[in-house]
Structure 1
Amino acid sequence: MSGVLTGKVAIITGAGQGIGEAIALRLAQDGASIGIIDLDTSKAESVADKIRAFGVGARTATCDVSDRDQLHAAVAEIETALGGFDIMINNAGIAQVLPLLEVRSDDLERITRINIGGVLWGIQAAAASFIERGIRGKIINACSIAAFLGQPVFGVYSSTKFAVRALTQAAAQEYAQYGITVNGYSPGTVGTDMWDEIDRILADRSGVAVGESFRNQAHAAALGRPSTPDDVAGLVAFLAGPDSDYMTGQSPLVDGGMLFN
């Protein structure tokens, strides 16, 4: 297979389903070999099989991204198996739907460890490898529309995504001297299993029918439809490819026109 990423290797966390899977498949179509890091081994292997069908390499590693040692080890394992890597996509994350008064210590700790810690540890692992090998690599982080606007019952989730946006800006400045770029991607309402769960929680809390919250969010976009994982993967493919080489520290929205920044 030939494409703009032929000969490149991308590592993607949380690539066993949803947006992460769509990103993995898109970059494979563009010619990259893919390392999949996910907590669910069977889902990761299923995606790896799809990737190999494009004629590129694939390797999986089972990992809890909130554990620094585990994530660093998983990145090193894939680096060895695939002969290095050029692109790190810190995609793994969780949602949380809770009014601020209901948030407890365990809630805060869990989402912080995954959404912020998982990105920070991935940035560290990639940057250390790129600097050691003299690679002008790319680091790409999962941000969100929630990184630009905090919303009721999504307050702590939003705070983690604001933090990812801040880490992206800081890392871009720290690693620019090595030719490493660091960017993010900020989806809006995406039709995934995560949003299905959010929708069920909102339905329980508000008494609206299941699916109504998702439809209302989708219709709030100027383009009048929800995003698909492939919409997000298209932006990530641009950030992973050569056309974004002079772009760093940015977290562009891909939300169909929900916010205008």
Structure 2
Amino acid sequence: MQSQLNAAPTDLTGKVCLVTGAAGGIGHSAVSHFAALGATVYATDIADAFDGPANYRSFNLLDEAGISACTDWIAEIKPDVLFNNAAIFDMGSVLEADLAQFDRLFGLNVRAFYAVLQASAKSMVANGQAGSIINLASQAGHRGEALVAHYCATKAAVISYTQSAALALAPHKVRVNAISPGVIDTPMWKDVDALFAKFEGKEIGQKKREVGEAVPLGHMGDPSDVARAAVFLASDQSSYMTAQTIGIDGGNVLR
């Protein structure tokens, strides 16, 4: 006799999903995937306009007023799912990466990230929602890199906050997990490639080609690879999963 499977749905109908950093390649793909699965999607970025299936608001999360306005908005929309994705990248070794760069990267990648996480968590707890918080880390958060000191440190902080928040929110049935992408072919890679060309003396396009070829699977990832992992973490498919960081990196980092 064939056994009955207790298959959890990936359908997101009825869920309110919030995506930060929505104008970038990964954020935009997450918005599209959440909406396609029936969610009501709210999205934010610093850009004035957004082309996608979402209710959009622009906030500058490096500005105190922007953070305050965004957290007030979160209290209004009451998200069931947060895709905490907004971040910036820059380069410089410990001899070159100054405190201005530190303040900018930690200001968005950690301080604003935490403010959004906290506001979403407070809303979920206050409204009795069994929510899911999905933080965007990076393979850079698992190891230092000579030219990416501040960025690596910010993403290590994301992984640590994910674990702490998951333990704190577990009694409230709010799950907190992270995704660590590897090299993903987004528009941001044009800027990243130019920085490597500057610091390593490479030709434009050389670094992007090299990192793709170095991935065990042989190529860079696509934003949709990350978005599909976000769908899994947003849905009931991952209902017994919290405090974890999923690597979407083609085998770059062995955990």
TM-score by length of 1: 0.90
State the AA in 2 paired with 1:9. Answer: V
Match of 2:48?
41
Match of 1:176?
170
Match of 2:117?
123
Alignment of 1:80-119 (within 5 A): 80=76, 84-119=78-113
Alignment of 1:1-261 (within 5 A): 4-42=11-49, 44=50, 46-47=51-52, 51=53, 58-67=54-63, 70-77=66-73, 80=76, 84-261=78-255
Per-residue CA deviations over 1:38-64 (Å, capped at 9, x if unaligned) read 11022x2x12xxx1xxxxxx3111112
State the AA in 1 paired with 2:28. Answer: E
Aligned residue pairs total 247
SS in 1 for 2:241: coil
Q: Which runs of 5+ in 1 are unaligned?
A: 52-57
State the AA in 1 paired with 2:100. Answer: D
State the AA in 2 paired with 1:116. Answer: V
SS in 2 for 1:252: strand
In 2, the alpha carbon distance for the partners of 1:3 and 1:154 equals 36
Contact 2:10/2:231 (<8 A) preserved: no
SS in 2 for 1:134: coil
SS in 1 for 2:188: helix
Larger proportion of helix: 1
CA positional deviation for 1:79: 5.6
In 1, the alpha carbon distance for the partners of 2:117 and 2:64 equals 11
SS in 2 for 1:183: strand
Q: Evaluate the alpha carbon distance shift between residue 72 and residue 247 of structure 1 in structure 2; reply closer, same or farther with a 3 A threshold.
A: farther
Identity of counterpart residues, as a percentage?
33
Contact 2:180/2:249 (<8 A) preserved: yes
State the AA in 2 paired with 1:11. Answer: L
Contact 1:218/1:224 (<8 A) preserved: yes
Greater RCO structure (CA 8 Å; 6+ sep): 2
SS in 1 for 2:95: helix
State the AA in 2 paired with 1:225. Answer: H
TM-score by length of 2: 0.92
Question: Over aligned residue pairs, what C-alpha RMSD do you find?
Answer: 1.6
State the AA in 2 paired with 1:132. Answer: A
State the AA in 2 paired with 1:36. Answer: A
